[in-house]
Amino acid sequence: DTGVSQDPRHKITKRGQNVTFRCDPISEHNRLYWYRQTLGQGPEFLTYFQNEAQLEKSRLLSDRFSAERPKGSFSTLEIQRTEQGDSAMYLCASSLGGAVRDQPQHFGDGTRLSIL
């Protein structure tokens, strides 16, 4: 079990640029989640995949945000035309799903996005 890995750990970009983050979940986990965490707050749910299907999206996820999990393994989160308010830590988590409903989520160390 190598854990959930996220890349990059830090991203600094200018307002208006596009950014893409990658998440590699624990290999046997079929569920993958994206969260956003701002300073002093708990993680806020953004979206969730079961295998390759994106099953739920938060209204926090504006049309500038898109997430994919093309083969049911790694996932990408893209933010287009970044804004100052997008500055945050973006966390990925994975878990077992299906009939196993009491499993905790395992988190990566996050990607910290700073918009200049």
Partner 1 sequence: AQSVAQPEDQVNVAEGNPLTVKCTYSVSGNPYLFWYVQYPNRGLQFLLKYITGDNLVKGSYGFEAEFNKSQTSFHLKKPSALVSDSALYFCAVRFTYNFNKFYFGSGTKLNVKP
Q: Residues in the site for partner 1, rule: CB under 8 A? A: 4, 6, 33, 40-45, 48, 55-56, 91, 93, 97, 101-102, 104-110, 112
Q: How far is the CB of 89 from partner 1 (least distance, A)?
A: 9
Closer to partner 1 at the Cβ: 3 or 16? 3
Closer to partner 1 at the Cβ: 55 or 116? 55
74 close to 23: Cβ distance less than 8 angstroms: yes
Q: How far is the CB of 111 from partner 1 (least distance, A)?
A: 10
- In this structure, which long-range contacts are made by residues 100-105, counting pairs with CB atoms below 8 Å and at least 24 apart in sequence? 105/33
Provide φ and ψ at 34, rounded to 5°: -115, 135
12 close to 114: Cβ distance less than 8 angstroms: yes
